[in-house]
């Protein structure tokens, strides 16, 4: 089932951008071991979408944030270490679930990808999340603002865990 994607129309309409990211997450195939996540890179100065992504959108075991970056790299034909050179100065990231700091697959965690963008003083300065991790993140420790956008938590969790086997079903 393809999700209907409505673009936000107002600058800093965090709820609308999070709803857009949630609709992207719905495009991700449900699997028992992956969270279905959606992500949107936005130029906050012009209220324009720079890139979008969702879990498993690109080849490999890709996360939503990683898919945003891959699509942007492919569009510009540049390697990942040059990504920050094409990002607008006021790029923010909306993601339904706080970016991962550890990957069991051996892929670079999304937090590390985001931090790498800021090595030249550019990069992403704010990450808006629909679901937060309980502890303070590496992003905040590195000076990146993490903002919880409230109101869609239940829907995000339902979409994120679609395809997972609950412990009740495992016991049956």
Catalytic annotation, pick one of 65, 133, 140, 141: 65
65 included as an active-site residue:
yes
Q: With CA atoms as reference, report the closest residue to 90 among 11, 26, 161, 24.
A: 11
| Residues in the chain, total | 172
**Taking a C-beta distance cutoff of 8 angstroms, is the pair 143, 109 a contact?**
no
For residue 54, what are the β-bridge partners? 38
Q: What is the dihedral of CA 35, 48, 60, 156, to 10 degrees?
A: 10
Which residues are known to be catalytic? 65
């Amino acid at each position: 089932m393809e999700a209907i994607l409505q673009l936000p129309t107002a600058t800093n309409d965090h709820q609308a951008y999070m709803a857009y990211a949630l609709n992207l997450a719905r495009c991700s195939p449900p699997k028992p071991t992956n969270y279905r996540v959606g992500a949107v890179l936005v130029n906050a100065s012009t209220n324009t979408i720079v890139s979008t992504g969702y879990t498993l959108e690109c080849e490999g075991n890709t996360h939503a944030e990683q898919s945003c970056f891959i699509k942007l790299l492919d569009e510009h034909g540049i390697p990942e270490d040059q990504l920050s050179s094409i990002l607008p100065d006021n790029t923010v990231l909306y993601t339904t679930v706080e970016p991962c700091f550890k990957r069991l697959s051996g892929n670079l965690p999304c937090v590390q990808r985001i931090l790498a963008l800021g090595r030249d003083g550019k990069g992403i300065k704010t990450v808006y999340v629909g679901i937060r991790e309980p502890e303070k993140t590496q992003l905040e420790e590195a000076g990146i603002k993490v903002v919880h956008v409230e109101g869609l938590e239940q829907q995000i969790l339902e979409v994120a865990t679609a395809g997972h086997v609950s412990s009740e079903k495992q016991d049956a």
